[in-house]
Amino acid sequence: MRDIISWRKGLCKKLCNSEELKEYVVSNLVNADTKVQQRQIKRFAQLIADVELGLTLLQQVAPEEPATSVEALLKGYRFPVQQLQSDRNWQLIQNARFYLIQRKGRQWLRVLQEYINLPEIIRIYSLEEARNVPQLIPSSK
């Protein structure tokens, strides 16, 4: 059976413990009970991990392309573009496709929009619109 979640467990745990993510969820679900808030924190943590894997892949193989291009990369077709002719890039794409199997097609566009709506303090990429090129946010550490 495919193990598509172990890679993100540590990251998700850190995100779930993030005060910024907790504050964001609590402020948006003020009337929800704690269990609902906790489920939403976990869902956002998984979403962030998946989207940032896709955007990091894009930065590696096609850094000038918009964030929506990840959708095409996840389809698995070796389009006749220069970035996909490299065996190294193709292997990176295949690896990401394995882990992001649940984020293919329209699912990618949906989670990307949710990611864009999250506060930048929680994200590592600056992105105002899905059709823009994602920019890594400089870390203060």
Q: Please spell the DSSP secondary structure of 3-65, one letter per residue.
A: --SGGGHHHHHHHHT-HHHHHHHHHHSTTS-HHHHHHHHHHHHHHHHHHHHHHHHHHHH-TTS
The domains of the chain are located at 6-119
List per-residue pLDDT tens for the chain, 141 residues long: 677 788 889 899 999 999 999 999 999 998 999 999 999 999 999 999 999 999 999 999 989 999 999 998 898 776 666 777 788 888 899 889 898 988 888 899 999 999 999 999 999 999 999 999 999 998 765
